[in-house]
A and B are shown apart, each in its own frame.
Chain A
């Protein structure tokens, strides 16, 4: 497969680069305070980045997967946590994009051009194993009543519209899962603990508490029992986006290293004169390029209507592992400066670590990849 970026895609990259550079000036403040940066959210909204994947007939950008990945990569190069905010929103939008009926589309698509979305699958007993979900949804007249606790929902504390997965039929594992569009104003919905996490601190994960939460029956996504399929189809389409952020992080770490390295020394010699460093940098560049191509391939397959669970999982697993290793190696090159908070690389490393775990740990990705090889 050969990937040729369109002029529109190239323009998008150039456009968001300028925005990302400005946003990045806030990186440290956001990281230290671990607060959702509404100013950055507003920047995304005003510049029509937030609504990129929303279809054009609803006023959005109508962007395909590859374009979204390119945008995330470019933003993550400068500000990983801000890219994570966008990806979190798009993750929240994806199940709606795929499964909304016309009524739901009319109601939510316009809103998600300017309001934040989120996606909530995980529970204390259900991390990798979605079958372990115990949050229940009981149909009572015109409403479903949801009871349970969800955890690790990226920016769940600030999102207005959240796709929440709950069991409409207990005891039959993932087949009993259903997906609901939940608004934060719904009675019985509240935000619990907000996590103090090592990286991506501008977009912390939140606990969502559902206590007799009333959800109108019109807010069921698809049919009862469709939940697991909705979640998996969503993740097939969003994993390349996490992978794109990982590529951006790795590229950002390399950029910074190359920029800083001329000032550095190793054993009283200029750092870049060291062949050990030269080879290390070459290896970093190789792994980033390989990850990038895998991400573009997975995204292009989605855009061509040939969504590949395998490719999405491979892109996510490989690119996030690359991001972790590359950020770590970038610190090694920068030495004492690399671990100082005066430089962004240590933050990039902390951000990268989250990507190896969220939206399916890389162990789960390997499981998915192996199974898909047998089919």
Chain B
């Protein structure tokens, strides 16, 4: 279908070299144990342009697209699932600002991220389940064109670290979800508990409560000319980024499996010489290649504003995460006992990918969405 350009190959290579150099296994184990995000790696990734690779140059980005971002994410999670995911999730609000934000919002909320000074995230308020408790967001009185977030809670990735939080909500008009930029330092933004998950521990998830938070006009994201709403944009990009994380993890688990199978001897030969292992590797290789094609295609379609993005982003997320689950389970199996041990990266890959697979829209949701598109 396509070949990576020389520039894209260079980006891939640079990301790989960065990950190989910085994502030390012992460091990752320590971060995972402490549930800690490493700011210094994030800052380095910003300095080298990996974070913000898809922002225009005037906002200190590299002017590439989601496709190049995907290449970087893949290399990052391939080397270390936990650190890779944590970096990939450090600017999840940016896709909304890039597509829907105005000039000053882009300046104010993209540049600090590329400079390593800020982490941006998203808070999805589940208005559906709270509909009986009165409106979550109302127009602010005596506060022209501003809003007040009356109440609401959300589980937020990097919730305790992010200074920029985009609140997404479907309250005012169900067909027009609203997006507000909230700064975590504001009054009424309260960090509550930590949600401990089976994986993804380097990217902690905190519950954030909003209590009568006033949002001035310049922090309200308008739809702009994007043609989609901010929540949908976020969904599309997040699915594709999740699929890229999963793709990298699948490839990483596969790399480890091949290496182990070529080194480990049982019954007088390398275990890669047993066809039972060979067929497992062949199946994985096939599925990872197929996943890669889908993920790359989805990113490409996002960058080219393809109208089919709703479906392809769901397909990519569904398939790539399923492949990654299989790849990590099989990689543990090929490793045998050592694959189960926490000092090796494989079992963490399974825990990490199972977490990202289920954290937001599950694969059951993806199937429902894909089906809806097919029969509509």
Contact = CB atoms under 8 A, between A and B. Distances in A.
Interface of A: 122, 125, 127-129, 131-132, 151-152, 195-199, 205, 265-268, 274, 276-277, 280, 324, 328, 331-336, 338-342, 346-347, 349-350, 353-354, 356-358, 361-363, 366-367
Interface in B272-310: 274, 276-277
10 contacts: A128-B267, A198-B351, A265-B129, A276-B368, A328-B325, A336-B155, A346-B354, A350-B347, A361-B336, A363-B274
A341 B197 contact: yes
B358 A268 contact: no
Contacts of B173: none
B195 interface: yes
Interface in B86-135: 128-129
B358 A335 contact: yes
Interface of B: 128-129, 155, 195-199, 265-267, 274, 276-277, 325, 329, 332-333, 336-337, 339-343, 347, 350-351, 354-355, 357-360, 362-365, 367-369
Nearest to B195: A340
Contacts of A340: 195-198
B198, B199, B339, B354, most chain A CB atoms within 10 A: B198
Contact of A151 (B325, B337, B343, B358): B337
Nearest to A352: B329
A129 B267 contact: yes
Given A276-B364, A335-B358, A335-B362, A197 B266 contact: no
Nearest to A128: B266
A128, A151, A198, most chain B CB atoms within 10 A: A198
A36 to B, nearest CB: 17
A128 B336 contact: yes
Nearest to A34: B342
A332 B363 contact: yes
Contact of B354 (A274, A339, A357): A339
B367 A366 contact: no
A98 B266 CA distance: 28
Contacts of A342: 196
Contacts of B360: 336
B368 A353 contact: no
Contacts of A335: 358, 362, 364
Contacts of A358: 337
Contacts of A354: 340
B358 A353 contact: no
A339 B333 contact: no
B368 A363 contact: no
Contacts of B128: 265, 268
A340 B333 CA distance: 24
B197 A152 contact: no
Given A328-B325, A339-B197, A152 B337 contact: yes
A134 to B, nearest CB: 13
A362 B337 contact: no
B199 A339 contact: yes
A124 to B, nearest CB: 10
Given A266-B364, A274-B364, A363-B276, A198 B340 contact: yes
Contacts of B198: 339-341, 346-347, 349-350
Given A127-B336, A332-B362, A349 B354 contact: yes
A132 B363 CA distance: 44
Nearest to A269: B368
Contacts of B199: 339
B341 A195 contact: yes
Given A328-B325, A339-B198, A340-B195, A277 B364 contact: yes
B87 to A, nearest CB: 20
B296 to A, nearest CB: 25
Contacts of B369: 267
Given A128-B267, A333-B364, A363-B333, A197 B355 contact: no
A196 B276 CA distance: 28
Contacts of B155: 336
Contacts of A336: 155, 358-360, 362
Contacts of A280: 364
A339 B359 contact: yes
